[in-house]
A and B are shown apart, each in its own frame.
Chain A
Amino acid sequence: MRMSRYILVGILLGFILYKSEAVSWFRIYEMFRFQSFHMFGIIGSAIVSGIIIVQVIKNRKIKNVVGKEITIKEKAKTYSRYIIGGFIFGMGWSLAGACPAPMFILLGAGHTVFIVYLVAAMTGTFVYGLIRKALPH
């Protein structure tokens, strides 16, 4: 099945974030207190590896599975939405101790209370959709 490969990617993502303890509320608290290199190491080495991957893709014009050159969409060059939206996201991240991927992983690990987080996050997204025209972007 063509779509099952995405489930496998998700399983890999689940193992990475669970086994590296990035799903832990305590690890997120520790990161925001700058008391360990661990989370900065994960995010930092992901970015360094990612930069190398993206540069190789650009220079070698690597093609994707359907034979088209891989391109990465440029994000709109504004300021407000990133700083304000990012700030709001960061507040939620530190309160719940989980960003969206860990939430799905923790649901699978049996922390079923994260269903409340999921519904709340969908509500947050919905409210953003309703009022977005009134917000500075």
Chain B
Amino acid sequence: MIETIFYQIRDFIAQPWPWYVAGPLLALVMFILLYFGHEFGISENFRLMCAADGADKVNDFFKINWRAGEWNLLVALGAVFGGYLASHYFLGSHGDIAHISAATVNSLNNINIKVTQGEVPLIPDFISWKGLLSWQGLLMIAGGGFLVGFGARYAGGCTSGHAISGLSALQVPSLIAVIGFFTGGLLITYFVIPYLF
């Protein structure tokens, strides 16, 4: 009996989550952190990790008490656990599938990324250790990571800090940052990614 209920709950969680579940829950995460006295912002962890690794000895920007950011590092660690649990125990009958639109499947095939509707994995095969051996993979993974780390600190926040926290508080700087996010993303999506494959 209890076992049946357990499996039912598991299967319920394992369904793909629609946007109207995910979005409000992200706002809930923001609220929980505000209630604990903190502001939601994941990219700050890169700065904390630099400081913890000794970057404070090289540059003032990292002369921060990274231990005061311990809560944020724990959120990041929790996200690692969450990713492990969700991908190992809550895959459901859909598996690791990205339910992208037919239009997207079409566009991907047009730029030589071969995918089949209904069988698109969450992460493409070029985002892997093997993919890293090609210059395209290196550009996407290491280049992308570098730009994210540089840009997030330059802009003072990432998707969580600006798009969710900042816009929720109706802050104009965050709106400018989000416009920047999309301008940069559109440029790469239309003028770079099609030529990588």
Q: Which residues of A contact B (CB under 8 A)?
A: 3-33, 35-51, 53-54, 57, 62, 64-66, 68, 70, 72-79, 81-101, 103-114, 116-130, 132, 135
Contacts and interface: CB of A to CB of B under 8 A. Distances in A.
A9 B29 contact: yes
Query: Helix, strand, loop or mixed for chain B's interface?
Result: helix
A22 B146 contact: no
- Highest count of chain B CB atoms <10 Å: which of A84, A91, A118, A123: A91
B154 to A, nearest CB: 3
Given A29-B108, A99-B160, 13 more contacts: A9-B32, A11-B78, A21-B122, A26-B121, A50-B26, A72-B34, A83-B180, A86-B177, A90-B182, A93-B159, A100-B152, A109-B86, A130-B59
Contacts of B49: 122
11 contacts: A14-B81, A45-B19, A47-B168, A85-B151, A86-B151, A96-B148, A105-B79, A113-B128, A125-B43, A125-B153, A132-B154
Contacts of B77: 7, 10, 104
B136 to A, nearest CB: 10
Interface of B: 13-37, 39, 42-43, 45-47, 49-50, 53, 55, 58-59, 61-62, 70-72, 74-87, 90, 98-101, 103-104, 107-108, 115, 120-124, 127-129, 131-132, 139-160, 162-174, 176-190, 192-193
B44 to A, nearest CB: 9
Contacts of B24: 45-46, 49
A18 B16 contact: no
Nearest to B15: A19
A14 B183 CA distance: 27
Contacts of A20: 16-19, 21-22
A37 B43 CA distance: 25
A25 B108 CA distance: 12
A44 to B, nearest CB: 7
B36 A88 contact: no
Contact of B180 (A89, A106, A125): A89
- Highest count of chain B CB atoms <10 Å: which of A8, A88, A119: A88
